[in-house]
Structure 1
Amino acid sequence: MDGTLVMPLAAMRAQDWAALSDLLDQALDLPPAEREAWLNALDGEHLIHREALQALLATQAEIETGDFLAELPALPGVASEAGDAHAGGQLVGAYRLIERIGRGGMGEVWLAERADGTVKRQVALKLPHAVWGDAFTERLVREREILAALDHAHIARLYDAGVDAHGRPFLAMAYVAGQPIDVYCRERALPLRSRVALLLQVAAAVAHAHARLVVHRDLKPGNILVGADGNVVLLDFGIAKLLDGDQTRDTALTAVSGRALTLDYASPEQIRGEPLGTASDIYSLAVVAYELLTGGRPYRLARGSAAELEEAIASAQAPRASDTATDASTRRQLRGDLDAILNKALKKRPEERYPTMDAFAADLRRWRDGEPVQARPDSAGYRMAKFIGRHRLQVAAGGVVMLALAGGASVALWQAHEARLAATQARTEAATAKAVQGFMESVFISNSANQPDPERARATTARELLDRGAERIEKDLAQAPEAQLRLYELLGEMYFHMALNDRSLALRRSGAALAARHFGAGSLEAINASVSLAKTLAEVGDREASLKLLLQADEALRARGQEDALARMEIDTTLAYHYFNSDPPQGLARARRAAAIARQQPPSQGSVGALHMLGEAANATGNLVEARDALAEALARIDRRPDETVAVLPLVLSTLGDVYARLGQLGDARATLSRAYDLAQRGSDPYTLHIAGLKLSRFLVANGRARDAIESGRAAAAWAQSLKGDHEFGAGPAVMIGSYGRVLLVYGDARRALGYLDDARQRLPAALPDVLGPFLATHAEAMLALGRTADAAADLDQAAALIGDRVDRNTESVRAVRRRYWVAVGKAQDALADFEAHAPQVDQASTPFTRLRRQAEQATLLLAVGRPAEAHAAASAVLAAMGQLPEQGFSDDVQARMTAVQGQALLSQGRPADALPVLQQALALHRAAFDADHSPEVAAVRAALATAQRRAP
């Protein structure tokens, strides 16, 4: 065939794709035996499509099996990068390919890693077979900008997008090691409730995307992976999934990749090529749910022409889920509520489905909890049946069934009253949800391609769309204050996640003002809006204004008489956070009250947050058993409701790891902290990731593992420095930078450490004395290591003034550095006297490890004051005690230092020959423990060793 008659696919315009699609429909309508003659008869303007049609028709048998994308045919005119063009070790942009982990018709997925050393992270690198040119590249850049707003534990994060040196675009996604959700459920024979729990995780992720203006459009088991920990990760938000101008007109790329990809899970409107909204995702997830719960799909699509496909979708009525399931037990569980839920979500008309993904998930949760579902017609009998189902024991024990059957007047009146209240509340909620949904969709419909400048519409950024929506809230929803309030909250949160703090605060303030004006200053709506604003103020660093608002909300809630439990829990949790540093006992009291309420509530973000805050507050005040138990409760609640609470799992685990460390369970501590860090790396929240990294790094440094702390500490510091002084995370970034300086200092690199410590000092708010005091002590320690004793003295004087006479682990860290300063300036007697005068309080944190490290400091001070025999005995006692520790691996630094004290003590006693082998051992231990030859400890051991070698016979 003449190559000049082949049109390159990459050069096709929209009308060219339409023409090719129409021709393909005609060919597929023909019997297979007649297609070749039809192809040969093509002429005129259709001739240029003949070879592409021939290649597509050759794959018809594969299309029938549903494996079309496994091997897309080599289409003429496309610059192919398929086959072996990619190989392990090859560079694509800043990434080095490791191994191919997937291949589809449109491209490949490779396990890769950064090759430039900036971030040590493995990614899933998506590489299209075809070089699509500038249009595709621009789309990747625009989608990366909008997808950056997706921040959810169950969504695989998009790290990067770009074009390599050969013009090939790529997407770098979080690498997820897991199984497709259907395979995961099938191989483990999961019960129905466990499968619904996984679906709720998916729904939470999709709802998060919908709230941030992204529609997935390709929900299927292959894009929903489940890790070994049972957590879902949703993939493929990467190409042509935005609810913007493209909702009314697909690109050529979508036309090639989208239709064959989504047939079995596509919505009716998707098949017909109509504009897509969030209802399309609801339908697709319902197909996935149907398959997971029954073992079969609601229908199989005949792989015919577009017309035949549309007819099949429009006319095929999905059988009831309970009729499809083959297992009798499963059929019984599906019958009734789950049948109704799936039937509603699979409605052909989008407006007949659930209005939002949250509404779909809420009905699944109602089924799980034994409550009436919205998908079924309401009736007194149905409500009573659900009540009995939820309270079988109480009904049996108290004769409630007989009372209900008797139908007494008081019961009937109570039921009527409750029904009216429930109906009113349901109508308000439904109206609010509908108004919010309609408003959000209208923002994007107004930005569709159906306007004078569609190209400009498609270039609109997420920030611009949010700005447009924010400007319209007050005018468009003047008659719907509940919807206004919800949108102020929603858009405020979205602005905050985009680091647009001023806009976020402005919307939260508007919400608080609206609530006070419309519902009353003492209303629950006004209180909740004030608390929301207060939390945002705290997160951006304005703690004073935040505390003032919280105390006002606290007083307003008290004045209402009968307090709302959830509002009280939220206020006390947030106040506990405020008092965490400034007034730990008050913080603990607030946290205990919030946790008491949380224990009476079902699992939720709020109840988990309250228990986590109690764990933090109890840990800070030395109530370690209480802290451990509260955190265990929080973890149990996360297990029960992972769809809503799993995002905080790394933070809860990090706190628990810190508690384990203080209890002396160092192996459990490291395992828990490492798990928290690993989970956070799979998520998309940088603050959570680096808080987990900070706590792991601190633990490792405190327990003789400075070398192991380098990576997590460096990553946290690099992220914190990238914020360039933005205080949206309060003192967190400064603490991360300072903590990495501490890692470098303990590792023996005082000069580099000082650079990070100076940077942290400039960022650290002076209003946090409990943080600033220990930080200044670390800064002083760096000065001592560099021989700048005068500067160290100034730091220590300021730190001592900040801590006052308090006795806790923070103040003890300041005193320990001050003692090292006194030794350095020749006042070792003062250091020993201070050591003996400030014995730590015996509490739950007085573990063998803490006592061991205090004894090691005593041995060092005895040597410094010229009492070598006592120093040698004390060091020997420490080394002997180490042999009795359950986890000796966390004391390598202590072993190195105590061996050095032994050798130096022997040298001071005039026994150089005895000191020589001990000092040689000490030098080897220091190198093993610190992996550095430039630390002050190594220098001191080397000097003592040289002296012993000169004096030894």
Structure 2
Amino acid sequence: MKGLSRFEGDWPAISALLDEALGLPRDERDTWLDGLAGERAAHRDALRALLAHQAQVETDDFLETLPPLFAQDQVSRDPGASAGSGVGAYRLIAELGRGGMGTVWLAERADGLVNRRVALKLPRIVWGDSLAERMARERQILATLEHPHIARLYDAGIDAQGRPFLAMEYVDGTPIDAFCRDRALSVRERVELLLQVMAAVGHAHSRLVVHRDLKPSNILVTQDAQVKLLDFGIAKLLQGDSTSRTALTELSGRALTLDYASPEQIRGEPLGTASDVYSLGVVAYELLAGARPYRLKRGSAAELEEVIAAAEVPLASSTGSDPALRRQLRGDLDAILNHALKKSPADRYPTMEAFAQDLRRWLDGQPVEARPDGLAYRAAKFVRRHRLPVAAGSVAVLALVVGASLALWQARQAQAEAATAQAVQGFLEGVFRANTADQADPAKARDTTARELLDRGAERIDAELRNAPAARLRLLTVLASMYQDLGLNEREVELQRQRLALARELYGPSSDEAVLAMAALANALGLATQRDEAAEQLKQASALLDARRDSDSVARLQVEIGQASLNRRTNPELAISFAERALAIARRDGASSRSDLLQVLHILGDAALFNKSFERAQAAYTEAVQLCEAHPPLGAGDLSLLYEFLGHSQRALGRYAEAETSMRKGMEAEVARKANPVRIAETQTHYAILLNQSGRFRDSLAALAPAWQWSQDAPADLPQRRWVRMWQARALANYGQTEAALAVSKGDVAVVGTPHAADGMDEQVLTDRAQALTSLGWLAEARTMLERSRQLQQAAGKPPGNLYAVALRRWLVQSGQAKDARVDFQTRRAAKKLPAAPTASEPVTDQVESAWLELSAGNATVAEAQARQALAAIRDGGHADYRRDHEARATLLLGQALLQQHRAAEARPVLQEAVRLHRLIYDPASSPLLVEAQAALTQAEQAPQR
């Protein structure tokens, strides 16, 4: 290998070419070498020598024995870079891949701090500061990107040999092209994968990062069909709308993979997000058509430029050999791919989201933006969506009629659409321009709120669009929706009424536009608590659809959704029937958008949950969650709430581990998307509540800690603040830190009886405080809290609830009135037509309370039986980890019952177990329950032997 040192200064270019060569099958490399031309041909000899050396050694250790190209002080060798050796804090396990610049290893953290496997990127060659610049750039870029479909950067540094390294998320996946091929995925399934890629790239673009090397080998797919985007190593931070030139650019030239490079990338021009649109367009073409749009010649930059400028991208539908595939690609997908592969960046999709949106439209059977929006196209889409049973003869006649008038109609329609669009655009521009140009005070213009802009626009619609009714209708719809997003329901109702009147005037009182406006008005009325009028609007809309036997249109879908939503809480059984009908329409191919399907599933889950149809609720929420996760932009705002309600339904079904996972994912989803702090606090509290109700009080306090911290500075009148504080106090009391709980609830109790937000928590705060005071023996204060709670409920016309009843029985027992407490318990059960003593199939909570009341009333044998029954239910139910507090309490009651029967020898092991469980669950320093358990054990140990 002598003589290669003369290529020392050209190594970056040789390295890039070597990456290309190693990516080719061995039998294609000679042809590739012979085809090198221009400035690339100058490196042919070096490349041939390197590749020949690989053939000689015939091992996977080619780069381990890389021949010296130049001075040894410029070659970074690591003789210890083998399986089992260390690099920084990492231990190498197995080599994953290699290229001209270095290797990628599967590694694991070896210092014990984190148990995690990573993909460790190690450079092989160092040339001055350029490699450090590239590695630092990749570290800087990846640190800003947090997305479920982007491989994360965990660590970066310099190892003992002086080499930079990057510790990346290890992805056990398959390149996207191989994944699609191996699983024989359908066109729709391939599009679904592409949408995941687009979501990841779009996220990077939003952080001003261009990938610059999108290709199948950088897009891995896991076994559960989740995409992971790799290698932002050649990406550059955007400056304005292009990338900056750096020393790396000057030294190593354009780092790219030619077959996926954009025309401007080939020409060395400044790059923006449109370059990634083009590259992903090539990937999409290859995945859908089974071939690349063209393979570039391996010539000089000038020759490459000429090929890119001259080569026409063939239609994707013309490249495949399968007739069925060609039919699927023909039309919309052809148009979408061609639009992404335009030569000029200005002619492509302006953003990755626009590219993705067109693919989503294709999935939903809706018109795509890449095609002319003419009558024939819209009519074809309409027929495919509705599949009207039209007789062949009728179709022929219709074709003749449409053919004769199509051109004229299209022209008029296009003119009308253009006029409407122009009017809408001009109106909106006028509203925003007035906010800047027409203001004498620029600061006032900057401080204008969204509400003020909306009000200004709403006031100007009638005056400025008097002669453009279609534009006025469109704007009324949009502005009404914006008012809803701001929670301004009364103003939304006003605009929806105007929309309905205009729709009736323009299209007729029974038109689809009028029915859709009625459904929208009903929704606005429902949000504004005007339920009776909302129900009347939906009734009239349904009657109009019934009259024309319309059972499956978009208008029918919206009316059914409105009926289901309006009744989901007041009449959940009726709401389920409406939601099921809406779901049947939404599932039909092309009948609705994914957002409609998601809305229906959400409403169906809510109605089923309120109806205590927990299996049905779980099924609906599960499908909704899967829909959101498959299409991240769709359900970004709904995902956490869906997970939360899914957790409620799973807990009601006794699926505690699943419920905990769902609640945690809901909380993590809100934190990940940096949602409103109030909403994040809500999800953290819901998760903490589940842990609290599962007897994991220490874990509950830990989960609640961020929300508790938020509540310290939150506005005092926020109901969410009071809710967080209430659960903080409850968790502290349950854990055994009773005085700390009283300190938290003191301020919230002081609010009761003074004007404050109607948050429905007064009774809970008062009864919680009563229980805490009772446990400390402060019975007079506890009785005052109970009486205030009873009076509040009486003033509201409601009987005292279950929380009050439980707190009252605690107070009665502590006051020496245990028999009265037992009577109260049994009387309430009789009112529900339940037996006096809870059966084994009833909630464990009731069984444990019954045992406690029987023991407190002196009925030790009955208490023993109830305690044993409760323990058996806990241990046989398969959910003991989520019933530890009840298990501890029932074990203590059993030991105490045995003691009352003078069976101390039997009681001792039982009470020892009770003390052990109490120490695991409660605060060992302050829990009254632990003190009670220890006292019972001491009594058993000191009792005389019998």
Which residue in the other structure is 1:553 paired with? 492
Q: Deviations over 1:542-567 (max 9, x none)?
A: xxxx4xx2123124323543453785
Which one of 903, 907, 911 corresponds to residue 915 of structure 1? 907
Q: Structure 2 vs 1, CA of residues 34 and 683 (structure 1 numbering), >3 Å: closer, same or farther?
A: closer
**What amino acid is the match of 1:508?**
A
What is the 5 A alignment of 1:244-393? 244-245=239-240, 247-253=242-248, 259-376=254-371, 383-392=378-387
Maintained 8 Å contact 1:123/1:173: no
Q: Is the 8 A contact 1:156 1:682 kept in 2?
A: no
Instruction: Give yes or no for contact 1:520–1:526 (8 Å, CA) kept in 2.
Output: no
Instruction: Determine which of 588, 600, 605 is the counterpart of 2:569.
Output: 588
In structure 2, the CA distance between the partners of 1:204 and 1:567, relative to structure 1 (3 Å rule), is farther
Distance 1:188-1:165 versus aligned 2 partners, 3 A rule: same
Counterpart residue type for residue 509 of structure 1: R
What is the distance in 1 between the residues matched to 2:674 and 2:399?
A: 53
Paired letter, 1:512: L
In 2 relative to 1, CA 838–671 (structure 1 residues): closer, same or farther, beyond 3 Å?
same
Deviates further, 720-729 or 935-944: 720-729
DSSP-derived class of the 1:339 partner = helix
In terms of mean alpha carbon deviation, does 320-329 or 76-85 score higher? Answer: 76-85
Query: What is the deviation of 1:282?
Result: 1.7
What is the distance in 1 between the residues matched to 2:911 and 2:524?
A: 58
More moved, 892-901 vs 80-89: 80-89
Match of 2:451 in 1: 509
Match of 1:662 in 2: 652
Counterpart position of 2:702: 714
Point out the more displaced range, 207-216 or 357-366: 207-216
Distance 1:565 1:206, change over 3 A: farther
Alpha carbons 2:767, 2:786 under 8 Å: kept? yes
For the residues of structure 2 that align with 1:771 and 1:159, how far apart are their CA atoms? 44
Please tell me whether the aligned partners of residues 171 and 238 of structure 1 are also in contact (alpha carbons under 8 angstroms): no
Mark the CA change 1:736 to 1:560 in structure 2 (over 3 Å): closer, same or farther.
same
Q: Name the stretch that deviates more: 744-753 or 362-371.
A: 744-753
**CA shift at 1:430, angstroms?**
9.8
In the alignment, which residue of structure 2 is the partner of 1:867? 859
**Residue in structure 1 matching 2:694, options 695, 703, 713:** 703
Change (3 A) 1:917 1:728: closer
**SS at 2:313 equivalent:** coil
Change (3 A) 1:85 1:751: farther
Alignment of 1:341-740 (within 5 A): 341-376=336-371, 383-392=378-387, 394-396=388-390, 401-407=395-401, 420-421=412-413, 424-425=416-417, 480=429, 508-520=450-462, 525=475, 528-529=478-479, 532=482, 535-536=485-486, 546=487, 549-561=488-500, 562=514, 564=517, 567-568=520-521, 571=524, 588=569, 602-605=592-595, 608-609=598-599, 611-612=601-602, 615-616=605-606, 619=609, 624=614, 627-628=617-618, 631=621, 634-635=624-625, 638=628, 644-645=634-635, 648-666=638-656, 669-670=659-660, 672-673=662-663, 694-706=685-697, 709=699, 714=702, 717-718=705-706, 721=709, 725=713, 739=727
Normalised by the length of structure 1, the TM-score is: 0.68
CA–CA distance in 2 between the matches of 1:74 and 1:850? 79
Q: Secondary structure at the match of 1:770?
A: coil
Q: Letter of the aligned partner of 2:647 in structure 1?
A: G
The residue that corresponds to 1:445 in the other structure is none
Partners in 2 of 1:715 and 1:280 — Cα distance?
A: 44
1: CA distance, partners of 2:518 / 2:156? 46
Equivalent position amino acid for 2:491 in 1: Q
Contact 1:102 1:108 survives alignment (8 Å): yes
Change (3 A) 1:770 1:34: closer
Residue identity matched to 2:401: G
Report the TM-score when normalising by structure 2.
Answer: 0.68
- In 2, are the aligned partners of 1:774 and 1:810 still within 8 Å (CA)? no
Which residue identity lines up with residue 495 of structure 2 in the other structure?
A
> Aligned in 2, Cα 1:342/1:706: closer, same or farther, shift over 3 Å?
same
Farther-moved stretch of structure 1 (301-310 vs 193-202): 301-310
Partner of 1:47: none
Q: RMSD value over aligned CA atoms?
A: 6.1
For residue 564 of structure 1, give the secondary structure of its aligned residue in structure 2: helix
- The CA deviation string for residues 696-720 of structure 1, in whole angstroms up to 9 with x for no partner, is 543343234557x45xx63563376
Change (3 A) 1:322 1:674: same
Q: State the distance in 1 between where 2:83 and 2:718 align.
A: 45
Q: Would you say the 8 A contact 1:875–1:899 is kept in 2?
A: yes
Question: What is the distance in 1 between the residues matched to 2:582 and 2:611?
Answer: 21
Name stretches of at least 5 consecutive residues in structure 2 with no aligned partner: 13-35, 55-59, 437-443, 464-471, 501-513, 532-564, 587-591
Residue 441 of structure 1: aligned partner: none
Q: CA deviation at 1:243?
A: 3.5
Gaps of 5+ in 1: 11-26, 37-53, 436-476, 488-501, 537-545, 579-583
Change (3 A) 1:61 1:942: same
Contact 1:512 1:526 in 2 (8 A): no
Offset of 1:217 from its aligned partner? 3.5
Identity of counterpart residues, as a percentage? 37
Q: Which residue of 2 aligns with 1:203?
A: 198
Structure 1 residue 189, shift from structure 2 partner:
1.5
Q: How far does residue 949 in structure 1 lie from its aligned partner after superposition?
A: 1.3
Size of the aligned set, in residue pairs, is 829
Deviation at residue 391 of structure 1 after TM alignment: 3.8
Question: What code does the residue aligned with 1:282 have?
Answer: V
Letter in 2 for 1:564: A
Q: Give, in whole Å, the separation in 2 of the partners of 1:217 and 1:397.
A: 53
For the 8 Å contact 1:706–1:747, the answer to whether it is kept is yes
- Matching residue's letter, 1:913: A
Shift of 1:187: 2.7
Q: Aligned equivalents of 1:754 and 1:355: distance in 2?
A: 58
The answer as to whether partners of 1:283 and 1:345 remain within 8 angstroms in 2 is: yes
Please tell me whether the aligned partners of residues 891 and 913 of structure 2 are also in contact (alpha carbons under 8 angstroms): yes
State the Cα distance separating 1:952 from its structure 2 match: 3.4
Distance 2:110 2:419 in 1: 53
Shift of 1:658: 0.6
1:751–1:354 Cα change, 3 Å: same
Deviation at 1:142, TM superposition (A): 7.7
**Shift of residue 527, structure 1, vs aligned partner:** 6.4
Q: Which segment is superposed worse, 99-108 or 280-289?
A: 99-108
Are the counterparts in 2 of residues 572 and 590 from structure 1 also a CA contact under 8 Å? no
- CA 347–786 in structure 1, closer or farther in 2 if over 3 Å, else same: farther
Closer, same or farther: CA 838–813 of 1 in aligned 2, 3 Å: same
Shift of 1:230: 3.3
Q: Per-residue CA shift, 1:773-829, capped at 9, x if unaligned?
A: 546655666676677778877776776666668899995345534544554565645
Seen in structure 2, the aligned counterparts of structure 1 residues 430 and 585 have a Cα distance that, compared at 3 Å, is closer
The alpha carbon displacement at 1:231 in A equals 3.9
Give a deviation string over 1:61-118, Cα, whole Å, max 9, x none: 99xxxx9x999999988796988689999898xx98897896774786877789999x
Match of residue 29 from structure 1: 38
Q: Which has the higher contact order (CA 8 A, sep 6+)?
A: 1
